[in-house]
Each structure stands twice: as structure tokens, then as C-alpha cells.
Amino acid sequence: MDVAHPEYPSFAALAAARHEGRDYIRRWRFQARSRVAILAPHGGRIEPHTDQIAADIAGAEFSLYTFRSLLSRAQANLHITSHHFDDPACIDPLSRHPYVVTVHGCRVDGERALLGGLDTELLADLADAIRDAGFAVQTDGHRFPGRHPRNICNRGARACGVQLELSPLLRRSLRRGDFVEAVRAVLVARQRRGALD
């Protein structure tokens, strides 16, 4: 993640100290029929472009939650670590979604995606799709395993999910649409599989 040390230990602490609409913006659209939830808990100026990528992946059919900091890092650090991120507007509806994917930013070279999380089957499918789209992928041996049970990616209905850590070059890439489509294709298949159950 781009920010090494969080300033706030919980969403309640952040909300008590900061003003929504001035310091940060939340956006959520949870859909009753969606089996997939896409989150960007560190958007805006914390991990730039992650909220935009999450919205692109969600499209019109998947549930979406984004937190966007409006403050520069020189002003404040509004980062809450993934296993402390507990905004009720996110956590409560998230528990009804079997598939959860979170989008983050990390500082690594190249157009790379580091994948983590407890949903090993979905992680493997996403890794294959992202790799096939021409991006470098790492699924283990990195600093962001996403395996903490309280990590926001693992708080869906199945207590497992996938965390996507994206390099600055990937987040700004002219080929970003290819990345989004690769991820969406896997998730659309999961959504359709659920409709047949």
C-alpha cells in the first residue's frame, strides 16, 4: 500500500475527527441481486485511481463501495488498514455478498498486480485472466497477502475474498481498460454461476 502507517485505527475515529464531504467522500451502491462486491477503501489521494478502477470493474451490475480522501498527504493521512476498515455502511451489506474484491495501490515497478486474500479459487482465476491480458502478476511472496480474517476483502458471506494491489504504472496505464475487462470477465462468470444455483 502507498501509505505505510495509518493515522486512524477505525472508521469511527476517522469520522469523529474529519468532515465527510470536505475531507473525504464515500460512495456506495449495494445491489440486492449482486453476488459480487467491489471495494476501494483507500481511494482518492490515498492510493490514486483505485476508486476509479473499482467503479469500472463494478460497472452497472456489481455492488460498489469507495472511500475517497480529498486531502493531500501533506495535509492528513486518512488511511485505515484493511483489517481495521469497519465503516458500517460497507461492512453490513458486504456480508450478503459471496464474492468480494478490493482494489488497492502499492509501490512496485512495472505494470504489476499483487494478489492476496483467502478466496484461493477466485484468486487463481483472476491471476490467470490478468496475466493473459498482458500484466505481470504475483500471488505469493509479497508484502500484501490479505489473509487476515478481518481484512475487508475477507468479510463477505463466505469469509474470503481477493485483494488486488496495483502498481502506479498499472493504475495509470493506457491499457488499464484491458485489466478491468480481464477482472470483470471472471466476476461476470461468478455472477452467472450464482444465477444458475
Q: How confident is the model at residue 35 (pLDDT cuts 50, 70, 90)?
A: very high
pLDDT tens figures, 40-97: 999 999 999 999 999 999 999 999 999 999 998 777 789 899 999 999 999 999 999 9
In sign, the C-alpha dihedral spanning 194, 133, 127, 144 is: negative
Q: Are 106 and 1 in contact (CB under 8 A)?
A: yes
Share of the chain above pLDDT 70, in %: 95
- Residue 3 neighbours by CB distance under 10 Å: 18
pLDDT tens figures, 55-68: 999 999 999 999 99
What does the alpha-carbon distance between residue 196 and residue 33 come to, in Å, rounded to a whole number?
13
Q: What is the pTM of this model?
A: 0.93
Secondary structure (3-state) at 51 = helix
> Does residue 1 carry a pLDDT above 60?
no
Residue 56 backbone dihedrals phi, psi, to 5 degrees: -65, -40
Domain ranges of the chain: 11-196
Q: Are 99 and 34 in contact (CB under 8 A)?
A: no
CATH architecture, domain defined by 11-196: 3-Layer(aba) Sandwich (3.40)
pLDDT at 5: 40
pLDDT at 152: 96
pLDDT at 42: 95
pLDDT tens figures, 131-150: 999 999 999 999 999 999 99
Residue 130 backbone dihedrals phi, psi, to 5 degrees: -65, -40
